[in-house]
A = this chain, B = another copy of it.
């Protein structure tokens, strides 16, 4: 087993680059942190390249480490990689997978310009739980492999295709295939409960502060809103996504 003591070790420096989008894009790898996420990663075929563990941290016996390089690091070196203050001390360097095709997908969730990593991760987790077939991240939406996105997604990103794309192009393709496309808007929309969901649909949610872009709103078949019965100005976007996803799932 390789052992690394110094946080200045060139290997640690390479890992540190994976905390940036640029570093991840160049190497086509990323890091997950914590027992739950690393265990999920190890269950995936041909995904984990290196398993990094801070000295003194015990790994579960059930983990299958065939083909995985195990590297022990000092606490000092490990802390460089930690996204959380109280790290569990276990990390996996994973291969970015080419996305499964979404040609067979029937239900889609599109994210337009979302910025909060926690929201994006929670939305991916919720979409997967609600049985959505594919998630599409529009330009301007935070990177899937951002550590905070991965943490909130709790491993869901391993279980459904998530692609980056130009939302305009994708909406045009979906409409050509006859998939109804629903945007979300606070104004000029219809109450979401007016829709009778069918087997196939695409839902779009937008930026935390500004909502969906006007350009995308104009390309949908219909724009929906969730009524606010109190004095709140709006719902958190992940909450709104959850309400819509389960309404559409149950309404089929």
Contact = CB atoms under 8 A, between A and B. Distances in A.
Interface of A: 118, 122, 125-126, 128-132, 154-156, 159-160, 193, 226, 228-236, 238-240, 242-243, 246-247, 249-250
Determine which residue in A118, A128, A129, A160 has the highest number of CB atoms from chain B within 10 A of its CB, and name it.
Answer: A129
Nearest to A43: B231
Contacts of A132: 230
B122 A230 contact: no
Contacts of A156: 230-232
A205 to B, nearest CB: 13
A120 to B, nearest CB: 13
Given A126-B235, A226-B246, 11 more contacts: A125-B232, A125-B236, A126-B239, A129-B232, A160-B230, A193-B250, A229-B249, A236-B238, A238-B238, A239-B239, A243-B246
Contacts of A235: 125-126, 129, 242
A240 B125 CA distance: 12
A114 to B, nearest CB: 15
A226 B246 CA distance: 9
Contacts of A231: 128, 156, 159
A230 B193 contact: no
A159 B229 CA distance: 12
Contact of A242 (B155, B228, B230, B243): B243
Contact of A230 (B130, B228, B238, B247): B130
Nearest to A156: B232
A126 to B, nearest CB: 5
Contacts of A154: 232-233
Contact of A228 (B129, B234, B238): B129
Contacts of A130: 229-230
Nearest to A118: B118
A93 B211 CA distance: 32
